[in-house]
Structure 1
Amino acid sequence: MKAILDRLGIRRLLNLGVTEQLGLEASVRVQLSNLVAFLGIISNIQYSVFFVIAGAPHYQFMNLIHAIVISLLVLVLYLNTKERYSLSRIILVFTISVPLFFVSTISFGTSGGFYYYFLMFAIVPFVLFSYEEKWWILFVFLMNTAFYIWFEFFGSPGSFAKGTLLYHKEVQDLFRINSVVSCLSFVALFMFYFLRNINRIQKEMIRINDHKDRIFSILAHDLKGPIGTMSTFLGYITISLPEKEELIFALNELKKSANQTYLVLENLLDWVRNETKKTQCNLEKLNLSLILKNALDILNMQATEKGIYFETKISEEHFIYCDERMTATVLRNILSNAIKYSHPNGKVLIEAEPVSHFLKICFEDHGVGMAQDLLEKIIEGKRFASGFGTVGEKGTGLGLLVCMELLKEQGGSFRVTSKPKEGTKITIQLPLAD
């Protein structure tokens, strides 16, 4: 269905004026106004043809009205593209009632049942306007309701010339049936579209609450430990005058806690930026070995404490076309996990080779590995609980999810294979620089 709508250009039409700056609820209202304008254009063209064929009274004047209304509805679409949403909606709710008023006044009267549309247009502003614009909603609702009551109770049937199709009662009934069916179909379409997007808004709210809970959890648990350690050692240093060895030990602990806090915050910020679509990708030609060296320098103390040895097979001639910050974050997360889940005095192998237009980079350790259910969650990009490292290190469970999203943003890929107690192999691909 989506492919058909894309091919017909309808999805593009419905999204006229929808920008990333708009919230989901505001985007829905813009889409609905586009939908109403589009249906209005189609209906006015359709009825212009029908009126000529059926020989409706004053059809020349009615077709002129239709032409003006079509022009105004095109203006509505144009105003949405210029992000003048309020003016667009005000013009729309008044314009859609104009042809019905004239056709029920000077042409069909109450014979074609066109005044039924006023009932539909009375509820349209409830989905087009926000609650803050409630006075517009009330005004348009009362206006269309008054029009309907007038024609229903005080209107008179149209007068049709002999020899025209409309002179026959059966044809008039067909127009009336068409009016009723069209009204109900349009209302159903608006309500279905509105409910669909309400469902999207509810899911988005659940997702946002879920992210908020995750952020609070990280702040409460993963930052509390290292910050508490820093506070303890700083208190120890400032209260007493430690010996040189004790001072060095305390400073090393402070550095380790600061590095851990930095990594947690970096992961958290990257995750939040990506989830809120505020990550900017600046692609440029980069030297992989240099970015890898910087990542290893940051993690040097963490690796040295566990006696982890890195065997690197990366050529200095390997250049990639990527975002430097994103790539550094990916490498740092993968290496940090390799250190965390490797056994003390273990080895991590890093090697790279060009494959087609990509550089394939493999990170392999012989640590604790991962179970199949955890692998599936990682591959599907789902949340998972991060286990403790081999010496009790705690993770956020965000690292690999951040890696996957940042690689996708740069046109790269991520693959992981692992077996419990045998180790893990992570393979990423990044675009090669020309």
Structure 2
Amino acid sequence: MKSVIKRIGLRYLLNLGVNNQLDLQTSVRVQLSNLIAILGIVSNIQYSILFTIAGAPNVWTMNVIHFFVICTLSYILYLNQKEKYSLARIILVFTISVPLLFVSFISFGNSGGFYYYFLVFALAPFVLFSYEEKFWILIVFLSNNLFYVWFEFFGKPGEFIKGTLLFDSFIQELFRINSVLSSLFFVALIMFYFLRNTNRIQKEMIRTNAHKDKIFSILAHDLKGPIGTMNSFLGYLTENIPEKDELVVALKELKKSTNQSFLVLENLLDWARNESKKIPIHMEILSLISIVQNAKDILDLQATDKKIRWEIIVPDHIKVFCDERMISTVIRNLFSNAIKFSYPNGTVSIKGIHLGKYAELTISDLGIGMSKDQIKQIENGNPFPTTFGTQGEKGTGLGLLVCKEMLKNQGCTMNVTSSPNLGTKITIQIPNSF
């Protein structure tokens, strides 16, 4: 029942057709077109009832028109859901004026003030279309203003049947007051919604600029160091003929710098793709132990260099339902962090268990740990200052944030428990195949 209510709820209707692939401005326009369509449906139902009660001229003809307009506005919501946004907007800006034309021509004339709505609809295209679609903005603006001018200066009052409510001039005046107030309400509602989303766009721009600065900072500092180290060692190797021991040391340093650069770039690219919502998700049933073993094999050399011992207890039968590339990136990041922040000769423990609808994977170490402030930054989704591993390994402060967001995108959760100098335990819950 809850899901049914949610599907027919206002929030659901307003967000028909909105998805992660749309930029924020397009999302706002889709939401506004949905809002106007919903208001149009409600208004046509309302006036159809009022006209019938008040005995408006040609009321049944108007009811038929209202019915077709309601159907068209419902179809516009369907078009948005099918991501045919431009067609939906074009049909919308012309459809909303249709009942007004018929009301003013065959029913009320310029009585009741219904033609005031033309001024509202003349403003609608400015919030529905982009500047590149100025042709439609101009057409709709001019046509609605011409309709308003015609009925204001050349229109005639409606002819109402004696004995009906509308024959009373007081009732006609009430309709006029309602038209004025409704027009002002619709303008206020649309502009308020537009301002609200303009504020969202401004915040998004601030956030995007902050991300851009973070990327430049990482490129300038976290990549400059390892690439400079590689350049120095390569220069040394090309200008001298080192002894075997010196060559081994140089190659190890080169490998360390290469690994560090690769990790920085991988985290940076995953973070940037995730922030731009451009990561496709392909969910499938996978073996948890296979994912864990693949990540362990990739990082074996890094663990061997620090004499880190693996302790893996993951039953073969545990299956998970997730995106293989994403979950592999997450587990590889968590294993890499566990090695990086563990002391030499330490142990990295990986344990997997089946818990109802989820498989739980716990990665723990006895390394340098994290402060409460760092954990809070991770929970809030904020980058934190770069930290160094036990042998001077440098990170970006993005790895755990990338993991958290990737897990969230797959319906997974992550819990971090850590204390300085006491190690870190990270538990992730992944939906299983059952």
TM-score (norm 1): 0.89
Question: After superposition, what is the alpha-carbon deviation per residue over 1:281-312, rounded to whole angstroms, capped at 9, x for unaligned?
Answer: 44332252x444443443344334444x3240
Question: After superposition, what is the alpha-carbon deviation per residue over 1:130-150, rounded to whole angstroms, capped at 9, x for unaligned?
Answer: 111113212222222222223
Question: After superposition, what is the alpha-carbon deviation per residue over 1:148-178, rounded to whole angstroms, capped at 9, x for unaligned?
Answer: 2232233332232221111111111111111
Once the two structures are TM-superposed, the CA of residue 202 in structure 1 deviates from its matched residue by 2.0
Structure 2: runs of 5+ lacking an equivalent: none
CA change 1:399–1:80 in 2 (3 A) is: closer
In structure 1, distance between residues paired with 2:73 and 2:394:
59
- 1:132 maps to which residue? 132
| 1:299-378 alignment runs, 5 A limit | 299-307=299-307, 309-315=308-314, 317=316, 319-321=318-320, 322-378=322-378
Q: Contact conserved, 2:364 with 2:425, CA < 8 A, in 1?
A: yes
| 1:276-295 alignment runs, 5 A limit | 276-277=276-277, 278-288=279-289, 290-295=290-295
In structure 2, distance between residues paired with 1:21 and 1:378:
25
Q: Contact conserved, 1:273 with 1:279, CA < 8 A, in 2?
A: no
Q: Contact conserved, 1:312 with 1:349, CA < 8 A, in 2?
A: yes
Q: Contact conserved, 2:260 with 2:394, CA < 8 A, in 1?
A: no
Once the two structures are TM-superposed, the CA of residue 338 in structure 1 deviates from its matched residue by 2.4
- The reply on whether 1:12 has 2:5 as its aligned counterpart is no
Q: Contact conserved, 1:79 with 1:87, CA < 8 A, in 2?
A: yes
Once the two structures are TM-superposed, the CA of residue 5 in structure 1 deviates from its matched residue by 7.6
| 1:103-122 alignment runs, 5 A limit | 103-122=103-122
| 1:85-234 alignment runs, 5 A limit | 85-234=85-234
Identity value in percent: 63
Q: Contact conserved, 1:37 with 1:92, CA < 8 A, in 2?
A: yes
Q: What amino acid maps onto 2:218 in structure 1? A: I
Q: What amino acid maps onto 1:319 in structure 2? A: I
Structure 1: runs of 5+ lacking an equivalent: none
Once the two structures are TM-superposed, the CA of residue 117 in structure 1 deviates from its matched residue by 0.8
Report the secondary structure of 1:283's partner residue: strand
Q: What amino acid maps onto 2:150 in structure 1? A: W
Q: Contact conserved, 2:119 with 2:144, CA < 8 A, in 1?
A: yes
CA change 1:241–1:219 in 2 (3 A) is: same
Stretch of structure 1 that moved more, 120-129 or 309-318: 309-318
Q: How many residues align structurally?
A: 431
Q: What amino acid maps onto 1:133 in structure 2? A: E
CA change 1:129–1:389 in 2 (3 A) is: same
Once the two structures are TM-superposed, the CA of residue 398 in structure 1 deviates from its matched residue by 1.0
| 1:405-424 alignment runs, 5 A limit | 405-424=405-424
Q: Contact conserved, 1:369 with 1:418, CA < 8 A, in 2?
A: yes
- The reply on whether 1:236 has 2:231 as its aligned counterpart is no
- 2:273 maps to which residue? 273
Q: Contact conserved, 2:25 with 2:201, CA < 8 A, in 1?
A: yes
Q: What amino acid maps onto 2:383 in structure 1? A: R
Q: Contact conserved, 1:281 with 1:409, CA < 8 A, in 2?
A: no
Once the two structures are TM-superposed, the CA of residue 219 in structure 1 deviates from its matched residue by 1.7
Report the secondary structure of 1:113's partner residue: helix
In structure 2, distance between residues paired with 1:24 and 1:44:
30
- 1:253 maps to which residue? 253
Report the secondary structure of 1:211's partner residue: helix
CA change 1:238–1:83 in 2 (3 A) is: same
Q: What amino acid maps onto 2:63 in structure 1? A: N
In structure 2, distance between residues paired with 1:432 and 1:295:
19
In structure 2, distance between residues paired with 1:89 and 1:412:
37
CA change 1:142–1:418 in 2 (3 A) is: same
Q: Contact conserved, 2:315 with 2:353, CA < 8 A, in 1?
A: no
TM-score (norm 2): 0.89
Please provide the CA RMSD for this pair.
2.7
Q: What amino acid maps onto 2:240 in structure 1? A: S
In structure 1, distance between residues paired with 2:296 and 2:359:
19
CA change 1:317–1:52 in 2 (3 A) is: closer
Once the two structures are TM-superposed, the CA of residue 204 in structure 1 deviates from its matched residue by 2.2
Report the secondary structure of 2:424's partner residue: strand
CA change 1:279–1:160 in 2 (3 A) is: closer
CA change 1:370–1:82 in 2 (3 A) is: closer
Q: Contact conserved, 2:260 with 2:393, CA < 8 A, in 1?
A: no
- The reply on whether 1:65 has 2:53 as its aligned counterpart is no
